[in-house]
Amino acid sequence: MSAVAERYESVRCRVGDAADAVGRDASEVTIVAVAKTVGPAEVRAAAAAGLEDFGENRVQEFVAKHGLFPQARWHFIGTLQSNKVQHVVGRAHLIHSVDSLRLLERIDRVAGAMGVVQPVLLQVNVASEESKHGMAPDEIEDVLRAAAAFPGVFVRGLMTIAPYGRPESVRWVFRELRNQFESLAAMRFNGVELTELSMGMTNDFEVAIEEGSTIVRVGRAIFGR
């Protein structure tokens, strides 16, 4: 068994334990292997270990790795500039980082020109950190209402990045986003079906799962430092 496979198995066990702790099924949680600092050999080893979902945060690397491993589900998880949207739309299984209505509109236009519907998540800056991208929580409802007029995008849920720190110290971030997610899902906006909560990374994914995450973005714990 490769080192990547061993680390992935450990992550799977930790996901299962976190889900069990709150009466959830581990199959409800998708592990996205964040490959932003690794090469093709490590991605190949992860795929051989059973991983199907991979994340990349730079457009050039995303396109290159998607080309090398087209059978994988590639998630775009980094800041997406409007002038690079055309390189990601149609390739991404899911864009996690839609941080403004303007970007959502741009994705819709590009997707329409390509004849595709692009699944996306809206990035929410729950902790109001100046160093992080994302919309304020009170902006999300209006953006979801606007999304009903965009046939080229399918908003599947919300994403956040918690401040770095002790996992218990950021539990409130995940809880607040889950509460907002549940409230918005109950509103049943036209053309919007909220099913995904992308919360939690190597440092805090277990707490995120306990608070309702359906997608965790794990790099270091799978690929090493």
Q: Which range, of 4-8, 90-94, 97-101, 165-169, averages the lowest pLDDT?
A: 165-169
Model pLDDT for residues 117-133, shown as the tens digit of each residue? 999 999 999 977 776 78
CB atoms within 10 A of CB 139: 15
Tokens of 84: 């690079």
Neighbours of 14 (CB within 10 A): 18
- Look-up: residue for tokens 């236009």? 109
Across the range 198-203, mean pLDDT stands at 96
Q: Which two tokens stand for residue 77?
A: 């998880």
Which pLDDT does position 161 carry in this prediction? 94
pLDDT 10s digits, 5-19: 999 999 999 999 999
Which superfamily is assigned to 3-223 in CATH?
Answer: Alanine racemase (3.20.20.10)
Distance CA 58, CA 45 (A): 21
DSSP 142-204: HHHHHHTT-TTEEEEEEE--PPSS-GGGGHHHHHHHHHHHHHHHHH--TT----EEEEEETTT
Sole residue written with tokens 């918005």: 184
Q: How many residues does the chain have?
A: 225
Mean model confidence pLDDT for the chain: 94
User: Is-above-0.85 flag for pTM?
Assistant: yes
Q: Taking residues 161-188, what's their average pLDDT?
A: 93
Q: Region 91-106: what's the mean pLDDT?
A: 97
Look-up of token digits 């149609």: 90
Nearest to 121 by CA among 161, 86, 179: 161
Reply yes or no on whether the pLDDT at 190 is more than 80. no
Where are the chain's structural domains?
A: 3-223
φ/ψ of 76, rounded to 5, equals: -95, 120
Amino acid 102: pLDDT: 97
Average of per-residue pLDDT across 76-82: 96
Widest distance between CA atoms in the chain: 49
* Neighbour-count burial for 191-216, b at 16+ CB within 10 Å, e otherwise: ebebebbbbbbebbbbbbbbbbbbbb
